Structure 1
Amino acid sequence: MRPLARVLLSHGMAYGTFAELAKRAFVDEGFLLVERDGKRATVSAVSALTGLTRKDVSRIRESEALLDGGASQRYNRAIRVISGWINDPAFNDASGEPAALPLEGGDWSFAALVRRYSGDIPAAAMLSTLQASENVEVRAGNAVLVERAYIPKATPLEKINILGKDVGELVHTIGHNLEVLPEQRFFQRKVSNASIAAATATEFRALSTRKSQALLEEYNAWLTQHQSESDETVGEPLRYVAVGIYYIELPEQEQ
């Protein structure tokens, strides 16, 4: 919990705000768990399960979500645009790399890329988003992709909301693996070493960044080629899948 507390405190989040978010998470999951067990999901049932008062459960259930879902939507659309730019031959150059695209005009332009991969968001708004995140530069009237990994340059709260999703997905994987049979577990591995000199750690960080980025781009290309264009495939609902990679480096006293 201390790394989480460190991040929240460094971004100005007091305990009261965190406690309210934690209550909301308990209430939302409480209703889902009660329903999953085939029981009637009442305020009283969730109160008994979570330890929160019925008054708190009712208030949280009836109130609007505290965090802005628009930040996640902007994040997802930006990711789709960059992915399409990298993987769609229609927007690649002769060597198969993301092409420098005219801002407007025809089917081969940044505006066409945005229309294909981000729905109804204006091309100018997407360009502004990708410039702010330092993914795109405009050179001689063309949009140029200069950084493939998208990390939003947004408010601290938006960053916590977006990047914090990765923490939630890792915890979900851990929870899943604790509950299912060995053959049903999701892949969860890491490699570590507590006897690495600082200079060597810097070298390894560069190596892992390069290889991890290449692996994620390979996965992304495969997923793009196999994604469904409809809400269902052969009568089955679609699934969300993800593979995440993280790097951590700590001084000896913090291990």
Structure 2
Amino acid sequence: MLRKGVTYTGFAELLKEVFVDVAEREFRLDDKPSSDSRISLLTGVHRKDVRRLRAQAGGHEASLPKVISFGAHLVSVWLNSSPFCEQPGRPLPLARLASNGGECSFDGLVAQVSKDIRARVVLDEWLRLGIVRIDEQDQVHLETMAFIPQRGFDEKAAYFRHNLHDHACAAVYNLTEGGEPFFERSVHYDSLSPAAVTQLREAVNADGMQVLIGFNQLAAELEERDIPPPDAKQRITIGLYFYTEPTPPTVDNPSTASSS
């Protein structure tokens, strides 16, 4: 946060918004809106601040911004749907213009997902973010197996919010609720060499991405085959992450490995 100029004061203001929003949505009595005084009592946020925050625009949604949801959908179609892929998970290079490639072009791909957005606008933005590249034959190549911008802080921040929110919600549910738990497991070791960590990182990048691509293909098939009523739609997030840092020096201990 400090690298991006977020001060403690700014962070504290964001926390007030979060506390007020959650109290308003999840701690109602008899499903009726709470008063400013009750929310102030629950959260410890001053009543004047509660009134001001509630008067502002509605709460933050957990879903991704529209532009990113569109991008994720577009990449999914390119990866999984004919004529844009050789087989699921193997996207084809696409002619940039429909005049050269017809339906099997970047123009055709964008048109299949939305008639309201110009392909050139999407292409320029994706070139900026490093999602695609154009070769000497004016063909567009997909440079990623998911909509994860290589550049563009705002886009990365949107994914940060989305993934952190859903991971934390799964963990909190498993900790506090009595129903069937969400899948949330990890593997951790603390006595690996840098070379071993590099090997594991590469394995996670390769094998982990294949696992996620498989889930993506299944979800795309189910979404097309099993269409729910408008009032019964649900969203999902399936994630996989990798992190490493030096192990703090301690007394000699045997290597540990566990999952939780």
Q: Shared fold (TM-score greater than 0.5)?
A: yes
**Aligned match of 2:175 in 164, 175, 178?**
178
Deviation for aligned residue 1:245: 0.6
Are the aligned partners of 1:75 and 1:152 in contact in 2 as well (CA < 8 Å)?
no
CA distance in 1, matches of 2:84, 2:141: 11
Judged with a 3 Å threshold, the aligned counterparts in structure 2 of structure 1 residues 52 and 95 are, in CA distance, closer, same or farther, namely closer
The answer to whether residue 112 in structure 2 is matched with residue 112 in structure 1 is: no
**Aligned match of 1:205 in 190, 201, 204?**
201
Identical-pair percentage: 26
Judged with a 3 Å threshold, the aligned counterparts in structure 2 of structure 1 residues 144 and 156 are, in CA distance, closer, same or farther, namely closer
Aligned to 1:76: 69
TM-score by length of 2: 0.84
CA distance in 1, matches of 2:64, 2:88: 34
**Aligned match of 1:103 in 86, 96, 106?**
96
Judged with a 3 Å threshold, the aligned counterparts in structure 2 of structure 1 residues 214 and 188 are, in CA distance, closer, same or farther, namely same
Deviation for aligned residue 1:86: 0.4
**Aligned match of 1:9 in 2, 5, 10?**
2
Aligned to 1:85: 78
CA distance in 2, matches of 1:145, 1:43: 50
Deviation for aligned residue 1:58: 0.9
Aligned positions of 1:22-171 closer than 5 A:
22-35=15-28, 38-64=31-57, 72-93=65-86, 97-105=90-98, 106-118=102-114, 120-139=116-135, 140-153=137-150, 155-171=152-168
Are the aligned partners of 1:101 and 1:108 in contact in 2 as well (CA < 8 Å)?
yes
Are the aligned partners of 1:103 and 1:109 in contact in 2 as well (CA < 8 Å)?
yes
CA distance in 1, matches of 2:190, 2:87: 45
CA distance in 2, matches of 1:68, 1:102: 36
Match of 2:221, SS? helix
Aligned to 1:252: 247
Aligned residues: 246
Deviation for aligned residue 1:224: 0.7
Q: CA RMSD in A?
A: 2.9
Worse overlay, 242-251 or 141-150: 141-150
Q: Which has the higher helix share?
A: 1
The answer to whether residue 219 in structure 2 is matched with residue 223 in structure 1 is: yes
Unmatched tracts of structure 2, length 5 or more: 251-260
Worse overlay, 148-157 or 131-140: 148-157
Are the aligned partners of 1:81 and 1:118 in contact in 2 as well (CA < 8 Å)?
no
Match of 2:140, SS? strand
Are the aligned partners of 2:134 and 2:140 in contact in 1 as well (CA < 8 Å)?
yes
Deviation for aligned residue 1:97: 2.4
CA distance in 2, matches of 1:67, 1:89: 36
Deviation for aligned residue 1:96: 7.2
Higher relative contact order structure (alpha carbons within 8 Å, sequence separation ≥ 6): 2
CA distance in 2, matches of 1:92, 1:253: 47
Worse overlay, 90-99 or 210-219: 90-99
Aligned to 1:192: 188
Match of 1:184, SS? coil
Deviation for aligned residue 1:70: 11
CA distance in 2, matches of 1:12, 1:197: 35
TM-score by length of 1: 0.85
Are the aligned partners of 1:34 and 1:40 in contact in 2 as well (CA < 8 Å)?
no
